[in-house]
Chains A and B, each alone.
Chain A
Amino acid sequence: MPSRRFSRPRAAVVVTAAVALLLAACSPGGGTPGEPSGEPVEGGTLTYASGDAEPSCLDPHVGGNYPQALIATQYLESLVSLDESGEVIPWLATEWQEGDDGLSWEFTLREDVQFTDGTPFDAEAVAANIAHVQDPATASSTGYLALAKIENVVAVEDHLVRLELSMPDSALLESLSQIWVAMESPKALERSQEENCAAPVGTGPFVVDEWERQDSVTLVRNDDYTSPPADVPADAGTGLPYLDTIVWRFIPDSASRYAALQSGEAQVIDNAQPDTIRSAESDEAIQELDAPRPGAANRIELNSGKAPFDDERVREAFVRSVNVDEGIESLFFGTAERSYSPLSSVEPLGLSLPELFTVDTDAAAALLDEAGWTERDADGYRVKDGKRLTLDFPVSTNQSIPAEQSLFEQIQADAKEAGFEVRLHPLDLSSWYGALAENDYDLVSAPYTKVGPDVLRVLYHSDSIEPAPSGYFANLAQVDDPALDDLLTRASATSDPDARQSLYEQAQRIILEGYHVLPLYDQQNHFLHSSTVQGLRAMPTVSTPTFAEAWLAS
């Protein structure tokens, strides 16, 4: 199955942590520019093969998911960016100033930038973009929530814009760094949504030339490109981008995708399978780019909102009886590191408590006996009051890669030994949401892309148990702990780094020690590319690769 990672529509917020993102330090090779060898070569066509589902709209304002972010990074640009250390750096905005009350921000814009349709980039354009994202008709989810606190946009001067907020938002800059709120030509935005979806107009290094549905998007060089982010060396600026054309193909079948890379049909593929990453290591012609996504780690949530996981002993027994480490080792071929934290390894505030997750089947058995699940039925499953110890596990086939689904199967096998009947339900996205909305699950894995520890508030604050009008809720573990709520609320309001760190540490301790989650590993984001591709790097914002500085060695 093609893996299709959705950052949560509607609910997902990508907030960049105020503190530095130590991307480079935490993930070897991740996000660092490929080591250029020799002089960049100009020209050439690069084929990118994506395993994600083809976006239905190329404008990331609409909806706002990761596949859109991947491609939009090539033709859209944001007001600000992050550098490798996670510092906010200028991009389309050269400088910015927060008002004393925290309720207004002024951005000075670059004056030499034009959209590729000739429209100048100015304060009105920024206003139009924010209005577009906030327009309900746009149906923006991710961008809409990122800009939720912006109340008013004032074009002070041609190239000076003021954003007025409803409440202070220290994460505003990081929000604006996201591709989901990137700047598009106001003239282009006036077109119908169908037209704008087919070819959004930005300021980026490439221009959407043609979109053959169910096949490919052709991106061509923006000859007038002038606006790389500030972390691009100034001397490189004039010649960028090097490539003439990018053909962005959608190849959902992982075997075909890898074959395309091997045979040279494609130069870059995403969603690389673990075994191919491993075998590519011995292949001189293929290189890897590993860029774990920020936000939460991939983890299994244990639904404590209903039996049997409303009993902490049962939760612990489950966690203690499944051997995740070995599974990750063999299924991911060493490409994924076991996580013991609710947060991604790129989040500096993440707390790891490995000792909680050591496998101890005796302890698990004792805990289950204690919890009253003493008997076993003919199939070897534990029984209490005539009821079998059954756990329903809806799996989104769109979001869990095959290796992850295999891991769940192994967990199922382990749990069976301990007396749990785990029922895996691989579901399409729609049915999966349906199962969650009906509280029809005991275990679930829901990847969550969101920068910064504030993700914890979204995922584990009891408010998030309350379903939104759409029926979706983020607190899938259904953790309902006033103490935790208090910690999370205070943490998000505190600007003092030490206090924040301590609050988030306590919060994570509660989540982990309560056995509400079983952390697995970082959200995998592996790219394989031909060795001829040079200068490829992942954006330090949401880890999408950018081809602005990439070139094809002859």
Chain B
Amino acid sequence: MTLPVPTTGARRRPAPGNRRWLLLRAGGVVFVLWAAATITFFALRLVPGDPAEAILGGPGSQAGPEALDQVRREYGLDQPLVVQYLTYLGRLATGDLGQSYSLHKPVATAIGEQFGATLALALCSLALAWALACALAAWSVRGGRIAWAIGSGLELVAAAVPHFWLATVLILFFSITLGILPPVSVPGPLGIVLPALTLAIPLAGFLGQVMRESLLTAMESPFVTTARARGESEARIFWRHTLRHAAIPAVGLSGWAFGSLISGAVVVESVFARQGLGRSLLSAVQLRDVTLVTGIVLVVALAYTVMTLVTDLADRAIDPRVRAVPQ
């Protein structure tokens, strides 16, 4: 045969019904988790030197022989690799992610304590990023050419700003110069503002850039002309028609965005001294707490996969074309 290429666009993509789709996707989630677990398992084995020592923090941990023995027993390190692997999977299935040497507690517990804070931060940032991106788009679409140029310039710069630098600038401005926002996270809604803003601004830049492209296309779509021709005002056209179209590709990016927020949380949580997985992860990396690192990575992979599923659902909600079967 020749190239196994799909034939034409219209025929290629089947659009299964909602339930089947959900089932398929759920199966995909399970698969991704299994594969992620496998990768982390082997990552653990790839750490050079004695895996027991690695679990206890590497050569610098100065772990005693008893401690090493205990770890070997606990993890079955004297067993064949296959047995170790199956044991590991079995433990995961029951929610046992192992014991963190640096925290003196089960990894699952440690993650449980931190997860909420990071999730809250990520979701707030996501919402904020969306709000910023939409607001900027709304302003620059209707503000004429200069506003358009300013808007896309702002997005460009925002997307190119490293989190840790932005955090510093925001602290200097809002906390030191203006003195209106706490420079470190405090309990209550006020404390999340700067961290969320730090995460949201670069993301808003990305979302905005993506939206801008599709916004242009949408603004020129014939249906906009139709809407104008029936007497709709520009504002209504933007909010009712074009924004929704522009949002579609960006919504598709939200899963990715969530992942990038978690990445960003590593930096931002440290700068703002905010509780969360990112900060735990960083200290775990610095202390070479391999069990904790793999545990966190795994849990984030789970959250991320679920988030992707959610955005796909949102995508289907916002864009009926995804699920519609053409007549």
Contacts and interface: CB of A to CB of B under 8 A. Distances in A.
A and B touch in the complex (CB under 8 A): yes
Interface of A: 9-10, 49, 53-54, 56-57, 62, 136, 193-194, 197, 212-215, 249-253, 255-257, 259-260, 262-263, 265-266, 398, 428-434, 437, 468-472
Contacts of A468: 62
The 7 closest A-B pairs by CB, nearest first: A433-B60, A430-B60, A470-B62, A215-B275, A259-B183, A251-B273, A434-B59
A215 B60 contact: no
B269 interface: yes
B274 A215 contact: yes
Contacts, number: 120
Interface stretch (B131-139, B210-218, B280-288): B280-288
Contacts of B184: 49, 249, 251, 256-257, 259-260, 265-266
B288 A471 contact: no
Nearest to A438: B59
A266 B175 CA distance: 13
Given A256-B183, A470-B63, A470-B64, A214 B279 contact: yes
B160 to A, nearest CB: 22
B272 A256 contact: yes
26 contacts: A197-B104, A212-B113, A212-B275, A213-B110, A213-B275, A214-B269, A215-B117, A215-B185, A249-B184, A249-B273, A253-B273, A255-B168, A256-B184, A257-B273, A259-B171, A259-B172, A263-B176, A263-B183, A265-B182, A265-B186, A430-B288, A431-B58, A431-B60, A433-B62, A469-B64, A470-B62
B59 A253 contact: no
A488 B83 CA distance: 54
B114 interface: yes
Given A262-B175, A428-B287, 20 more contacts: A10-B62, A49-B184, A213-B275, A214-B114, A214-B117, A214-B276, A214-B280, A251-B184, A253-B270, A256-B273, A259-B171, A262-B176, A263-B176, A266-B184, A431-B58, A434-B58, A437-B59, A437-B60, A470-B62, A472-B62
A432 B59 CA distance: 9
Interface residues of B, number: 43
A402 B276 CA distance: 25
B266 to A, nearest CB: 12
B59 A471 contact: yes
A467 to B, nearest CB: 10
B105 A194 contact: yes
Contact of A265 (B113, B183, B269): B183
B103 A56 contact: yes
Contacts of A263: 175-176, 179, 182-183
Contacts of B105: 194
A438 to B, nearest CB: 8
B65 interface: yes
Nearest to B184: A260
B61 interface: yes
Given A56-B102, A194-B104, A259-B171, A430 B183 contact: no
Nearest to B102: A56
Contacts of A432: 60
Nearest to B109: A194
A53 B270 CA distance: 11
A256 B171 contact: yes
Nearest to B49: A434
B104 A429 contact: no
B293 interface: no
B251 interface: no
